[in-house]
Amino acid sequence: LTLASARDTIRLLSWLKTNASHAHPMIVANKVQPGVAEISKADFEASIERKVDFMVPYDIKAASNAAKLGQVFVDANRSSKATGEIRRIAERVMGVSSDVSGGVGAEKKSLLGGFDLKSLLAKKDKAESEPAQ
């Protein structure tokens, strides 16, 4: 976490608020090294006026291992802390996580979840069987 990243985050959030007010941005701190940050997490969050949603730790050994094996980072390092955070980010993006934009108890429905496809099929089957008189 650096002063430059805080400044850039403020600019991006401001631009999104102005030009894409419907967007729900996620704040992800990548390559986080404990003790190396210019500013603390609390100061960073105070300056951007939002919470940091995810903090992906810096893991050079895991990255080297993935490159050596020729695999994706998550597949090559299943038990890594960074992999856990990346999986949580993916779940949030896909709408699987229950802590999306509202805290505990708020559930995110899938795009197709709004369409009741089974009821449409059931109505069609009933409609076809009734006019047989």
| Per-chain mean pLDDT for the chain | 79
Rounded to whole angstroms, the Cα distance separating 37 from 35 reads: 6
Report whether pLDDT(76) > 90: no
Q: Where are the domains positioned within the chain?
A: 3-132
For 3-132, CATH number out of 3.40.640.10, 3.40.980.10, 3.40.190.10, 3.40.50.300 equals: 3.40.50.300
State the average pLDDT over residues 85-94.
87
pLDDT at residue number 11: 93
State the average pLDDT over residues 83-108.
69
Contact 54, 85 (CB under 8 A): yes
Rounded to whole angstroms, the Cα distance separating 60 from 71 reads: 15
Higher pLDDT, 113 or 58: 58
Lowest mean pLDDT among 29-33, 61-65, 77-81, 122-126: 122-126
Report whether pLDDT(5) > 60: yes
Residue 9 one-letter amino acid? T
Take residue 125 and report the two structure tokens written for it.
């089957």
